[in-house]
Amino acid sequence: MNQTPIYVTQPYLPPLDEFIPYLEKIWENKRLTNNGPFHQQLEEALCEYLGVNHIALFANGTLALVTALQALRITGEVITTPYSFVATAHSLLWNGIKPVFVDIDPATFNLDPKKIEAAITPQTTAILPVHCYGNPCDVKAIQKIADNYNLKVIYDAAHAFGVEDEGGSVLQHGDLSILSFHATKVFNTFEGGAIVCPDSKTKQHIDNLKNFGFVGETTVIAAGINGKMSEVNAAFGLLQLQHIDAALERRMKIDELYRQELSNIAGITVPDVPENIKRNASYFPILVESDYLLSRNDLHEHMKNCGVHCRRYFYPLITEFPMYRGLSSAFQGNLPSAEAIAKRVLCLPIYPTLDSDDQCRIIKILANASYRCKLP
């Protein structure tokens, strides 16, 4: 009997009848974009929910990254990770900046602070780390390096919605933090993103940049871009916020069951998570080891044949794509930890509407493919 396919993530969609009043309001006031009332409400609501002071909404997270680099006037070289979605590095190329790739910590999958200083040159102006899978970077070590060398720090926090460390929101670290509200993320607005700003002056500058650089009807002060979020997207975000706590709670329960059951399967490693952190369970990565019956790629294909569509996040490394392959920092062997993880990682389905039966089916497939399975 054919079973419904299970994907690595599915967007949470609140009941349609809850969204209709928002749409009716948009039709009534005929304000579709350009900092409309829902846009303003969502910025305020996100600041309150996330515990930050200023947020500038964007049409997507990539435009937010591109604009953040422009807002801080970043040039020259920027140190970043090869283990991320390609948009992280693409934002640098769009600004004419040279990415310098540094290896990751094999335990956290985040940029390894111990490798950063050796990559700094007179042309280095910033560090662009990623809170991979929502697990916070070593922000203290990175900030210390940045302070010592007078570098800016921009965090790609696409995975880190709602994540907190001992000081509160991880989005408060660095000069700017960038969020993605893509449909695959913990919190989504269909498409969307945001920049978390440290002060109102920076937010105003970013708001100008995302509106072509206009500061009035006839005055343009910079070569900005059209990065504005529409009212429909903002309205959906406001509705999503009403359900976000329940969604995060369900994600954590799925995460806990995976950790409990997969620990019994030889050849599958579940990476540790940091302590004293409020997590969001945005992804669930496993590492397929050499003593598992199938290789990572074979397991990926096997699960797809079973109707479970996992993702090899992040494979291949960014440094393997043609626009980055020729950089000296991308040479094979320079990034041993990132290369090793990319060859073994597989992200399992995790989303609020993943029911227990489907999760148990995923676990059973993994167990049955292991020749040393301890599960019944």
Same domain, 195 and 230: yes
d(CA 92, CA 98): 7
Q: Give residue 4's pLDDT.
A: 83
Q: Count Cα atoms within 13 angstroms, Cβ side, for 116.
A: 30
**The last residue of a domain, from among 240, 270, 288:** 240
Q: Which pLDDT value is given to residue 20?
A: 97
**What is the spatial distance between Cα 22 and Cα 321, in angstroms, rounded to a whole number?**
42
**pLDDT confidence of residue 376:** 42
Q: CA nearest 108: which of 87, 134, 89?
A: 134
pLDDT at 2: 57
209 and 284 together in one domain: no
E strand or H helix that includes residue 303 = helix 296-305
Q: What is the pLDDT of residue 12?
A: 86
Q: What is the pLDDT of residue 1?
A: 44
In this prediction, residue 56 carries a pLDDT of 98
pLDDT at 371: 55
pLDDT tens track for 244-301: 999 999 999 999 999 999 998 999 999 999 999 999 999 999 999 999 999 999 999 9
293 and 217 inside one domain? no
**CA nearest to 101, candidates 75, 64, 127, 132:** 127
Same domain? 285 vs 309? yes
**Entry pTM:** 0.96
Note whether 319 and 82 are within 8 A (CB): yes
Regions of the chain where pLDDT drops below 50: 1, 372-376
* Co-location of 102 and 249 in the same domain: no
Token pair of 173 as six digits: 């670290």
Task: State the pLDDT at residue 3.
Answer: 76
Query: Following DSSP, what letter does each residue of 154-218 receive, concatenated?
Result: EEE-TT-TT-EETTEEGGGSSSEEEEE--TTSSS--SS-EEEEESSHHHHHHHHHHTBTTBSSSS
- What's the domain range around 89? 16-240
Q: Are residues 227 and 313 in the same domain?
A: no
3-class secondary structure per residue, 35-54: CCHHHHHHHHHHHHHHCCCE
